[in-house]
Amino acid sequence: MAQNIPADLKYTKSHEWVRVEGDVVVIGITDHAQDSLGDIVYLDLPEAGRVLAKEDTFGEVESVKAVSELYSPVSGEVVEANTGIQDSTEVVNTDPYEGGWLIKVRLSDPSEVEALLSAEEYGAVADAEGH
């Protein structure tokens, strides 16, 4: 199945995406991730103000089939969580890169973004996993 991997985003091997908006990044899970999980029914998201180190667990996503932890791609402070979708979690399935974003983080070390995977590199990771 063709995966949607927007070229302007950065990615992690654990299937999060990152969009840079000034000194804040928006974080979500990739189309590949939502497709592998299937119907998402529950999202545990952090409160604004929480300080995350790179690769910290920042939440949990549960689908009908499985539970998966969410890992922060960067270090920084959570400025907003998309709590509005916690009762309509299917948005993460249908619109993972826009309406289904999860948290916004104010970067403490902007250089971390550069170290993340490009769309092309992430595509290879996703392909290798297949289904």
Partner 1 sequence: MSDTLRKTPLHSAHIVLSARMVDFAGWDMPVLYTGILEEARAVRSGVGLFDISHMGRIRLFGEGTTALLQQLTTNNVEALQASQAQYSLLTNPEGGVIDDIIVYRVGAEEYYVVINASNTDKDIAWIQQHLPTTVTLEDWSARTAMIAVQGKNAPQLVSDLAGIPSLLDLTRFQYVQGTFLGASTIFCRTGYTGEDGFEIIVPANDAEKIWNALVDAGGVPCGLGARDALRIEAGYPLYGHEIDDTTTPVEAGLMWVVDLNKPAFTGHEPIRAVKQVGASRRLVGLTLPSERLVPRQGFNVFSGDTLVGQVTSGVFSPIRNHSVAMGYVAKEFAKTGTPLEVEIRNKRAKATVIPKKNLLQDP
Is 42 an interacting residue with respect to partner 1 (CB under 8 A)?
yes
Nearest approach in angstroms of CB 41 to partner 1 is 4
Residue appearing with tokens 């950065």: 10
Residue 83 binds partner 1 (CB under 8 A)? no
Tokens of 61: 């996503």
User: Pick from 64, 83, 127, 129: which binds partner 1 (CB under 8 A)?
Assistant: 64
The verdict on 50 binding partner 1 (CB under 8 A) reads no
CA separation for the pair 74, 90 (Å, rounded): 25
Binding to partner 1 by residue 65, rule CB under 8 A?
yes
Q: Does 124 bind partner 1 (CB under 8 A)?
A: no
Q: What is the dihedral of CA 119, 80, 99, 125, to 10 degrees?
A: 20
What burial class does residue 108 get, using C-beta atoms within 10 Å of its C-beta: 0-12 exposed, 13-18 middle, 19+ buried?
A: middle
- Residues near partner 1 (CB under 8 A): 1, 38-39, 41-42, 62, 64-65, 67, 86, 89-90, 93, 131
